[in-house]
Amino acid sequence: MNCHAVPNSLQPIYLNSYEHIKIRGDTKISLNLCTLASGSKGNAIYVEAGKTKVLVDAGLSGRETRRRLQSIDVHAEDLDAVIVSHEHTDHIQGLKVLSNQLNLPVYINYPTLSNMKGPGIKGDVREFDTGGAFSLQDLFFQSFSVPHDAADPVGFTIEYKEVKIGIATDLGFPTRLVTERLKKCDLLILESNHDEEMLKLGPYPWEVKQRIKSRLGHLSNHQAETLIKEVYHAGLRHVILFHLSEINNSPQKAGEGISLLLKNPGYHPISLSLAVQHTVGKMVSLTHENKWT
């Protein structure tokens, strides 16, 4: 696929091969983003805008995080901060080592910080209040509470000039607050964890199945689809489905409902992609004018 083209197809783009766009020198570009990993074995999202480079979650090991950053020509030493959604291991596995090695500021709420196991973060901890907003150099973050079985889990919107992205992963259901916060985004990273039927028939023990589908568990494909319908607007250009279960979901299952939804008359073309566990996603770039490069 041509990296610079806007995908016209409404079919999901399966990101099983790494593609990188070397266009960061282009002055038109305002915000670049790529998923370093997604799923129960580790989650991390790289965001850069202006002179600011951050990770949202650091769920891979320190070494693997560095390796994947290097594959997109980013040195871990150049990161400005890590922002943490919640304390589950798949979101913080590499947090302490990265923070301690690089003296990297960590933006985190207090309940999450105090529920992390093991020795604390030695470096620069900057607490934010859940529901609060904070500026991080060129980026403006708005946190919002999500229903999940962690101490105080949050999602984020991130704004840079006119560009707004929304990140909501690890949530049992879309609350009214989540829906409100995800409106008017140019790009959404949204959990699409499981296919309800696959989960029901799958190998997990009954208690685990109950936990996943509970209101403090994970978002199903169907719930993700419904949420996208709710927050759809003419400015929405890209949806990245995130945190897919490797056991209770498939790329086809995750993509098909939303592809069908977006084929309805009245929906403009939206680029739909799936973030995966073992491969870095494609770099996505958003411009001030809300055009895709």
Contacts to Zn ion by CB under 5 A: 88, 90, 170
Tokens of 203: 């190998």
Handedness of CA 33, 158, 217, 13 (dihedral sign): negative
Stretch (H or E) spanning 141: strand 139-145
Q: Is 210 helix (H, G, I), strand (E, B) or coil?
A: helix
Tokens of 90: 């798949």
Question: By C-beta, is 90 or 195 nearer to Zn ion?
Answer: 90
Question: By C-beta, is 21 or 45 nearer to Zn ion?
Answer: 45
DSSP H helices in the chain: 62-71, 89-92, 95-102, 110-114, 176-181, 196-201, 206-213, 221-231, 251-263
* Residue 4 near residue 293 (C-beta atoms within 8 A): yes
User: Residue 158's closest CA among 167, 150, 149?
Assistant: 167
To Zn ion, the closest distance from the beta carbon of 57 in angstroms equals 8
* Residue 39 near residue 243 (C-beta atoms within 8 A): yes
To Zn ion, the closest distance from the beta carbon of 234 in angstroms equals 31
Question: By C-beta, is 227 or 286 nearer to Zn ion?
Answer: 227
Stretch (H or E) spanning 249: none
Question: By C-beta, is 170 or 225 nearer to Zn ion?
Answer: 170
Sequence-distant (≥ 6) Cβ neighbours of residue 105 within 8 angstroms: 80, 81, 82, 99, 123, 124, 125, 126
Question: By C-beta, is 97 or 216 nearer to Zn ion?
Answer: 216
To Zn ion, the closest distance from the beta carbon of 264 in angstroms equals 31
Rg (CA), the chain: 18
To Zn ion, the closest distance from the beta carbon of 26 in angstroms equals 33
Cα(226)–Cα(228) distance, integer angstroms? 5
To Zn ion, the closest distance from the beta carbon of 186 in angstroms equals 24
To Zn ion, the closest distance from the beta carbon of 177 in angstroms equals 18
Largest CA distance in the chain: 54
Question: By C-beta, is 145 or 290 nearer to Zn ion?
Answer: 145
To Zn ion, the closest distance from the beta carbon of 8 in angstroms equals 32
Question: By C-beta, is 88 or 194 nearer to Zn ion?
Answer: 88
Question: By C-beta, is 93 or 157 nearer to Zn ion?
Answer: 93
To Zn ion, the closest distance from the beta carbon of 59 in angstroms equals 7
Cα(247)–Cα(288) distance, integer angstroms? 39
Nearest residue relative to Zn ion (C-beta) = 88
User: Residue 257's closest CA among 5, 10, 4, 1?
Assistant: 10
